[in-house]
Chains A and B, each alone.
Chain A
Amino acid sequence: MMNEHAFTQQADRYLNGEMDSTERVAFEQYCHEHPEVAEQLAQHRLFLRQLKEQAARAAFRETLTKVAADYHAPVATNTDADREPVVLTLWNRFKVNALVAASVAVVAVFSTLWLSGYYKTIQTTTSNFSALRRDMNTVKKNVNAQNAVIRNINSGQKGDPVGHFGATGFLLSGNGYVVTNYHVVKDADSVHLQNNKGESFRADVVYTDPAHDLAMLYISDSTFKALKSVPYTFKSSPSELGEDVYTIGFPRDEVVYGQGYLSSQTGYAGDTTAYQISIPVNPGNSGGPVLDSRGNVIGIISGKQTGIDGASFAIKSEAMLKSISAIAVDSLESKLVINKKNSLNGLRRTEQVKRIQDYVYMVKVF
């Protein structure tokens, strides 16, 4: 009878199949002869099986736990990631909407600004140059009220039409050519000229020169009777600094005389086609003639510098003559003759103004 140690060794070899056939037979024989050994072997075998099962199950459980952890893990991290950057997730979700909204807003803003004429205003406000046409809208209300009264009196008769802008213009020649500023007649539906007697004539814009801010009108109204040739001449040589100059114009509904001197040979921002003159001018003076003491037209009022006192600008008549010489003569209805004979020289100022008045018109733009 072998001891337990030897038996265990034998049993292990037997169960692992390490014995050769003779050994095997001998061991089985031995077990068969000793029932208690056989029982021991059975118990050993069972025990080992349980040991192995336990190991296998432990391994399985480990794998399962790992798989479970893997399966549950991404869900957990996902919720973490979702919770943390709320802003990011919102951004991701509404990115497209936000971009669309932003572009719509941008388009809306700029189109509104453009439609409301903001950019035009910017252009004019960033420049210190102020064009001197008179905006009639402020007086419109008063005039409307007046018209209402007149209408009541005349019971049904229509009052005078009201202009949006007012300015000044003067005759180039007696047969109805009038010069004024381009900024006055720009965007005009119709242009009317009113003389100092209150007569109103319809006029056509026959020529514009935006670069020099000049426009030429022709009085096409049948009620207009050609005047004698204009009393003033146009000076094409430069005038001297300090020259005594004056203008008449329509900053209001009545003709207004203004007097001053030529203060610079150049206009706004060094413009060589204009003079700087020191005459108090106001909106409505635009297009008025600037004359020297001998009755020569030396320029046309065009604007003034905002924020600076006494800095008004007049387009040189030299530039004006050059500009209108570019008009094709054939395109005009009647001949434009520039007067060369001055009938004002030597007259007193009051006399000069009196004569000129008939040739200066209020320009009303509708």
Chain B
Amino acid sequence: MSKLSKAVASEADLKTIDGVAAGDAEVLEQLYQDYYPMVLKMIVQNSGTEDSAKDIFQEAVIVLYDRVRQGDFELSCKLKTYIYAVCRRLWLKQLGAQERVFYDVESYAELIPVEDDLARHREKDRELSRMERALGELGEPCRTIIKDFYILGLSMQEICEKFGYTNADNAKTQKYKCLQRLKKLFFAAIR
């Protein structure tokens, strides 16, 4: 790989990255078709199974997603190289302390540092799983009300009708209580 092409990410790769950020199913499918066989080969050659390859690849895509969503992501190499490096790192970590010889299948793929990205991903993962847990504990109908209002952006009037509250004020009160509870659950987990 020459220095020149290394500096500039290709048009197609940038498009793919945008697609990943938007959660475009077609782009994800293409991602699988293009890069999964390579990852599968690497993992199977290094004492892994097809199932672990599936898991690792999925996680790598989420790493990429997290990284892209943060907005300051700049691809410094081929997307293929990036995905390979992430998967390799993830797999090595899963192999853990086992002192195994690791064979790189893509000999041209130089190893780019992905440790930072993985650390950020782990941090994000922690935060978000905390949120997920808090939401899980919140229970119905609070969860749906919160989702409808803050994520789907429904108005209080619509929520009032959907849940059959007598007036919008009641709904507002209900939503406020739910939010307070969610916050309490979320921050309780931090401490």
Is A bound to B? yes
Separation of A65 and B25 alpha carbons in the complex (Å)? 10
Bitwise interface map of B from 152 to 179 toward A, beta carbon under 8 Å scored 1, else 0: 0100000000000000000011001001
Determine the distance from Cα of A48 to Cα of B186 in the docked complex, in whole angstroms: 12
Number of interface residues of A (CB under 8 A): 29
Do A8 and B176 contact each other (CB < 8 Å), given the known contacts A55-B147, A71-B29?
A: yes
Q: B150 and A5: CB pair below 8 A?
A: no
Main secondary structure of the interface of A (DSSP, over half): helix
Contact assessment for A67 and B28 in the assembled complex, using a CB-CB cutoff below 8 Å: yes
A203 to B188, CA, bound (A): 129
CB pair A68 B54 closer than 8 Å: yes
Q: How many residues belonging to B are interface residues under a CB distance threshold of 8 Å? A: 34
Contact A5 B173 (CB under 8 A): yes
Q: Which of B65, B151, B172 has the most CB of A within 10 A?
A: B151
Partner of A71, one of B23, B32, B127, B132: B32
Query: At the interface, yes or no: A188 with Cβ under 8 Å from chain B?
Result: no
Q: Are B33 and A61 in contact (CB under 8 A)?
A: no
B131 touches A54 (CB 8 A): yes
Set of chain A residues within 8 Å of B25, measured between Cβ atoms: 63, 66-67
B59 to chain A, nearest CB (A): 10
Cβ-defined contact, B58 with A60, below 8 A: no
Contact A64 B146 (CB under 8 A): no
Judge if B62 is at the interface, Cβ distance under 8 Å: yes
Residue A354 is within 8 A (CB to CB) of chain B in the complex: no
Q: Say whether B69 contacts A56, CB under 8 Å.
A: yes
| A70 interface neighbour in B29, B149, B151, B153, Cβ under 8 Å | B29
Contact A63 B28 (CB under 8 A): yes
User: 5 smallest A-B Cβ distances: which pairs?
Assistant: A67-B28, A54-B131, A71-B32, A55-B151, A60-B23
- A sample of 16 cross-chain residue pairs with beta-carbon separation below 8 angstroms, ordered by A number, consists of A4-B176, A5-B173, A9-B176, A12-B149, A50-B127, A50-B128, A52-B150, A53-B128, A54-B131, A54-B132, A54-B135, A55-B147, A56-B23, A60-B23, A66-B25, A67-B28
